[in-house]
Structure formats: C-alpha cells, structure tokens
Amino acid sequence: MPVAFAQSESNISIGSLFGNFTSADNPLATFVNFESIGDKLGIELSFTDLLFYSAGMVVYGVFIWNFYRFIARREMIPLTIKKYETDGKKITSIIVYIFKYVFVFPLVVLVWFVVYSTFLFFMAPDLPRDIVFLVVISLVVTVRISAYYKEDLAKDFAKLIPFALLGIFLTSNVFFTTEQVIDRLDNFIPFIGKIIGFVIYAIIVEAALRVLFLIKRKILPVAEAKLEEQIEKQIDEKIKIHVEKIDEKHENLEKKIEKETDEIEKKIEQETSEIEKKIEKDNGESNKDSKSE
C-alpha cells in the first residue's frame, strides 16, 4: 500500500505539473497560433486582418507607381500608335486623333478614378463620398493641367499626393476588419454611377487644354521643335564636315593614282624606247654583217 500510495501521489503531482503548463509558457505557441498575433502585440486585429493590410498597401503602391507616370505624360497614348498617322492620309490622322482623345483617354481616366476612389474611400472613412470623389477628380485634373506645363511637376503631383495620403492613413487610428471592408464596399457601389459626371468634367478640361496647346504650338515656337532643329543643324554640319573629309581623301587618292599612273606610263615608254633602240641597233649590226659578207 505505501508503494501504491507513493506512485499515485507522484502521478498526481506530474499531472498537476503538466496541467498547469499552458501555451503562454511555450514561446512556440505564439508563432503557431497566427490569429493571436494581434493580441500578443496589443492590437485588436487578427492575423488575417494584418495580412489584408499588408496586401492592400502593396497593391496600392504598385498601382500608384505604375499608373502615375502614365497619367502624368502630356501624350498619354503610347507613341506606337503614330505609325498609323504617317501614311499621308489626312482622314487617317483625324480618325486616330478622335480614337485617342474620345475613347482611350476617358477609359484611362475612368480606371484611375474608380481604383483611386476605392482606395481613398477606405483610407478616409470620415470623408463623405462626394468629398472623396471631389478629391480624386481634383487630383486627376491637377495632374493633367500640370502635364501641359511640366511633366515632372505632373509626376510629382500624381505620385506624392497618393503616397502622402497613404502615410496619413498609416499614422491614423483607422483600422478595418474584413466585415467592415465588405460593408463599406457595399455602400460604395451605388455611387459608381456618379463617376460618369466627373469623368465628363475631366474630358472637357482635357479638350480645353488640348485646344490651347495646339494654339500655342501654332503661334509660339515649341522648345522641342527648336531642340530638334538645333540637333538637325548639328547633324547636318557633322555630315558636311565628314563628306568634305571624304571628298578630300578621294581627291588625294585620285591625284596619287594619276601620279603613279603617269610614272608607270613614263617608265613603260622609257623601257619601250630602250627596247626599240636596242632592236634598231641589233638590226643595224646585222645589216653591216650581211653587207661585209
């Protein structure tokens, strides 16, 4: 009995020892239970929410980085489309011009507007939806106006303002759960129809800027045209100098060939005359010999 009692007492002590050992005493438990990472850091967010935030920032950064350089160009349409404008037909140029600024440009503005409005809608939950749309269309119009002045300024607007808003969002106390994101998305979808009005406004501004730019290009000399003219002059001068050097070398070569040809002809004539003299001399000697005989 004493032995059995001792064994049971030891079993109780061991069981109570392992029973009091919790996951909090195990450092690996913190890393195994991903959903409790937010609680361990003192944040009321799950691992899924943290992953969602990281992915959202990456998508936001990739979108801004790839799109700001495109929308900040004065000529937003790729230059490869110009191959259709150089066939000498005026009607083709008109069709391509209409295609670029009536169909492609509104589509680009619409994509930028919808995507960036969606990001800003989640980053600034305290702003009314109308203010969100106003901020986004103001940014688009500001970038387009700046592009006709200086493209570098337009790039700064298109890049710095979105990233500044991201910095404000990261330093604020605005956090979303997955359910809140779905709820805000449901509230955002009914207002997509209003975007068409903002896009039309952007098209009108772009058309006015384009007309003013074409008028300026007709009246005032364009810096790019001056630069191209200077480059063409420099190229022409270099080509002229190069051609003159080639002509000079060609003339020297012709003179050298003529000189060598003259020398060869003189030498041939001299050798021919010597041979003729020798033949005449030999003939004269042979005649003398025949007469003496």
Q: Which of 6-10, 110-114, 272-276 is predicted with the least confidence, judged by mean pLDDT?
A: 6-10
Q: Which of 3-12, 30-39, 84-93, 258-267 is predicted with the least confidence, judged by mean pLDDT?
A: 3-12
Helices (H), the chain: 2-19, 27-32, 37-40, 47-71, 90-98, 105-123, 129-149, 151-171, 178-188, 195-219, 223-292
Highest mean pLDDT, choosing among 6-15, 135-144, 171-180: 135-144
More confident residue, 6 or 231: 231
More confident residue, 91 or 174: 91
Give residue-wise pLDDT tens across range 186-202. 766 776 677 777 778 88
Highest mean pLDDT, choosing among 4-8, 115-119, 223-227, 271-275: 271-275
- Give the pTM: 0.53
More confident residue, 81 or 233: 233
d(CA 135, CA 168): 15
Please check the confidence at residue 17 and state whether its pLDDT lies above 80. no
Closest CA to 202 of 132, 138, 115, 117: 138
More confident residue, 35 or 208: 208
Instruction: Tell me the domain boundaries of the chain.
Output: 47-220, 222-287
Cβ(40)–Cβ(30) below 8 Å: yes
Cβ(78)–Cβ(177) below 8 Å: no
pLDDT at 222: 57
pLDDT at 178: 62
pLDDT at 40: 54
d(CA 98, CA 144): 18
d(CA 24, CA 149): 62
Closest CA to 150 of 215, 205, 224, 229: 224
Cβ(49)–Cβ(178) below 8 Å: yes
pLDDT at 194: 72
d(CA 222, CA 210): 15
pLDDT at 3: 40
Task: Tell me the average pLDDT of the chain.
Answer: 72
pLDDT at 276: 77
Give residue-wise pLDDT tens across range 25-68. 444 444 445 555 555 555 556 667 677 778 888 888 888 888 78
